[in-house]
Structure 1
Amino acid sequence: MTKKPKKAKKPFDYPILLTVIILVAFGTIMVFSASFYYAQMRWGDKYYFFKRQCLWAVVGFLAMAFTANLDYWRLKKFSKLLLMLSIALLVAVLFVGVERNNAKRWLNIGGLSVQPSEIAKFALVLFLADSMSQRKDKMKYFFKGVVPYLLVTGILFGLIMMQPNMSTAGSLVLLVMVMLFVAGARLWHLGFLVAAGAAGAAVLIRAAEYRMDRWIAFWDPWKDPLETGYQIIQSLYSLGAGGLFGMGLGESRQKYLYIPYPETDFIFAIIGEELGFVGCTLLITLFVALIWRGLRIAITAPDLFGCLLAAGIISMIGIQSVINIAVVTASMPPTGLPLPFISFGGSSLAIFMASIGVLLNISKYAKAS
Structure 2
Amino acid sequence: MLTPAGVWRALRGPAAGSRSVRAPRPPARGGSGRAPAPRRPPGGRGGGLRGLHARARRAWDRPLTAYYLVLGGSLLIIVLGLVMVYSASQIKALQNGLAPSYFFRKQLLAAAIGTVLLLAAARTPVRLLRALAYPLLAVSVFLLCLVQVPGIGETINGNTNWIALGGPFQMQPSEFAKLALVLWGADLLARKHSKKLLTQWKHLLVPLVPVTFLLLGLIMLGGDMGTTVVLTAVLLGLLWVAGAPTRLFSGVFGITAALAVLFIKTSANRMSRLECIGATDPGDHDQCWQAVHGIYALANGGWFGAGLGASVEKWGELPEPHTDFIFAITGEELGLAGTLSVLALFAALGYAGIRVAGRTEDPFVRYAAGGVTTWITAQAVVNIGAVLGLLPIAGVPLPLFSYGGSALLPTMFAIGLLIAFARDEPGARAALAMRQPGVRWKTMRRRVKKRPSGER
TM-score range, shorter chain: over 0.9
Residue in structure 1 matched with residue 421 of structure 2 by the alignment: 362
Alignment of 1:199-348 (within 5 A): 199-218=258-277, 220=279, 222=281, 224=283, 226-348=285-407
Residue in structure 1 matched with residue 81 of structure 2 by the alignment: 27
Structure 2: tracts of 5 or more residues without a match: 1-62, 429-456
Residue in structure 2 matched with residue 119 of structure 1 by the alignment: 176
Could you tell me which amino acid in structure 2 is paired with residue 208 of structure 1? S
Whether the 8 Å contact between 1:11 and 1:364 is mirrored in structure 2 is no
Whether the 8 Å contact between 2:278 and 2:390 is mirrored in structure 1 is no
Whether the 8 Å contact between 1:300 and 1:368 is mirrored in structure 2 is no
Residue in structure 1 matched with residue 38 of structure 2 by the alignment: none
Q: Which has the higher contact order (CA 8 A, sep 6+)?
A: 1
Tell me by how many angstroms 1:318 deviates: 0.7
Q: TM-score if structure 1 supplies the norm length?
A: 0.94
Could you tell me which amino acid in structure 1 is paired with residue 229 of structure 2? G
Residue in structure 1 matched with residue 58 of structure 2 by the alignment: none
Could you tell me which amino acid in structure 1 is paired with residue 399 of structure 2? P
Could you tell me which amino acid in structure 2 is paired with residue 327 of structure 1? A
Which is further off, 188-197 or 286-295?
A: 188-197
Tell me by how many angstroms 1:368 deviates: 4.5
CA distance in 2 between partners of 1:140 and 1:39 (Å): 55
Residue in structure 2 matched with residue 66 of structure 1 by the alignment: 120
**2:154 aligned with 1:104:** no
SS at match of 2:319: coil
SS at match of 2:207: helix
CA distance in 1 between partners of 2:166 and 2:121 (Å): 23
Q: Spell out, residue by residue over 1:308-357, the C-alpha distance to the aligned partner (whole angstroms, 9 max, x if none).
A: 11111111111101111000000111111100111000021111111111
Residue in structure 2 matched with residue 128 of structure 1 by the alignment: 185
Tell me by how many angstroms 1:295 deviates: 1.3
Could you tell me which amino acid in structure 2 is paired with residue 90 of structure 1? L
Structure 1: tracts of 5 or more residues without a match: 1-8
Residue in structure 1 matched with residue 408 of structure 2 by the alignment: 349
Tell me by how many angstroms 1:254 deviates: 0.1
CA distance in 2 between partners of 1:281 and 1:171 (Å): 23
Q: TM-score if structure 2 supplies the norm length?
A: 0.76
Q: Spell out, residue by residue over 1:275-299, the C-alpha distance to the aligned partner (whole angstroms, 9 max, x if none).
A: 1111100110011111111111111
Which is further off, 154-163 or 71-80?
A: 71-80
Q: CA RMSD in A?
A: 1.8
SS at match of 1:222: coil
Indicate the structure (1 or 2) with the bigger Cα radius of gyration: 2
CA distance in 1 between partners of 2:202 and 2:66 (Å): 39
Residue in structure 2 matched with residue 78 of structure 1 by the alignment: 132
CA distance in 2 between partners of 1:33 and 1:226 (Å): 30
Whether the 8 Å contact between 2:241 and 2:367 is mirrored in structure 1 is yes
User: Are residues 226 and 34 of structure 1, via their aligned partners in 2, closer, same or farther at CA, if it must alter by over 3 Å?
Assistant: farther
Percent identical pairs in the alignment equals: 34
CA distance in 2 between partners of 1:133 and 1:144 (Å): 12
CA distance in 1 between partners of 2:131 and 2:282 (Å): 53
CA distance in 2 between partners of 1:287 and 1:360 (Å): 15
